[in-house]
Amino acid sequence: MKKILITDLVHDLLIEGFEKAGYTVDYFPDIRYDEVCRIISNYFGLIVNSKILVDKEFIDKAVRLTFVGRLGSGMEIIDRQYAEHRGIGVFNSPEGNCNAVAEHALGMLLALANNLVCADREVREFVWKREKNRGFEIDGKSIGIIGYGYTGMAFAKKLLSWDVELLVHDKYKTHIDTQSGRIKVVEKAELLKYADIISLHLPLTSETVSFVDEKFIEQWEKKGVLINTSRGKVVKTTALLSALDRGELQGVCLDVFENEKPETYSADEKIFYENLFRHKNSIFSPHIAGWTIESKEKLSKTLLNKILFFIESNNL
């Protein structure tokens, strides 16, 4: 019987769906990378999230592999070109958590604008500082969205009923629905000139590594609030920290980081992140923007449907 290996937490419907289709499922959400490498030759299919690097060396070991499913959107962990050269179908599921990411990005922005984290902590200590916690409104602002895939579109959708100007930039999108003029498609230079708030929704590629760097910040005229819920390496964190230290940014909202494993921090890295985290005009979360109860189900359902269609269409 053909076997499918699932290496991360998934909704039960994914396991049940594969089993109903006649496959044996090995569900090992705590499995280590080296353990997967030792057993992958036994599997017809593989489901991963982020801890398993499906590169050329890994794929060469996966002699029976027919498909790889990625829970979520980021494909940087998979050598897609080599997998497809080997006849392996590769699937992701950005449709499954794009709404969760959009809501999280908006929530971070609102929390920052209204000093909610600081105010909450103070009230719990019976400290009542109203003027100190005076916030700012989103109404009337220009919001730049860089990257207009599933999450960028979902973020824009949340804001369409707001009294804001939406500026969208996507280098590779040839057609963007402007929602009857509510959305303005612009070049990067125009977005950097007018945006009060910039939200990043980019995949991690060779082009987007350090997309936000010293030059980006220098060219951003308003130097407002930066939101990143995409990939940590899209932002050059040293440049971001320097700008915060100089008081050049109104604030930052980061759900993703260049290094998301604090246990691996060097002494210098630990000091660096401590300096970043001390800035009060900031909101941080541990890469959970797409991590909701609902998205867990949606991701699994989306992936299951894509993979079963692929198998059926190719008579595998």
Together in a domain, 33 and 174: no
Please give the helix or strand (H or E) that residue 155 lies within, else none: helix 150-159
Task: For the chain, give the number of residues.
Answer: 316
152: which 2 tokens? 């960028």
CB neighbours of 131 closer than 8 A, spacing ≥ 6? none
DSSP secondary structure letter of residue 238: H
Together in a domain, 262 and 136: yes
**pLDDT at residue number 302:** 97
Together in a domain, 159 and 245: yes
- What is the amino acid identity at position 211? F
Per the prediction, the chain carries an average pLDDT of 96
Together in a domain, 308 and 177: no
Confidence check: pLDDT of 113 > 90: yes
Radius of gyration of the chain (CA): 21
Band of residue 71 on the pLDDT scale cut at 50, 70, 90: very high
Mean pLDDT value of segment 89-113: 97
The SS3 of residue 198 is strand
**pLDDT at residue number 316:** 86
pLDDT over 70, % of the chain: 100
Domain carrying residue 123: 96-284
Start-to-end C-alpha separation, the chain: 13
Per-residue model confidence as pLDDT tens digits over 167-221: 999 999 989 999 989 999 999 999 999 999 999 999 999 999 999 999 999 999 9
Mean pLDDT value of segment 85-111: 97
Q: How far apart are CA 197 and CA 190, in angstroms?
A: 13
**pLDDT at residue number 198:** 98
Together in a domain, 126 and 220: yes
Rounded to two decimals, the pTM is 0.95
Confidence check: pLDDT of 273 > 90: yes
Confidence check: pLDDT of 236 > 90: yes
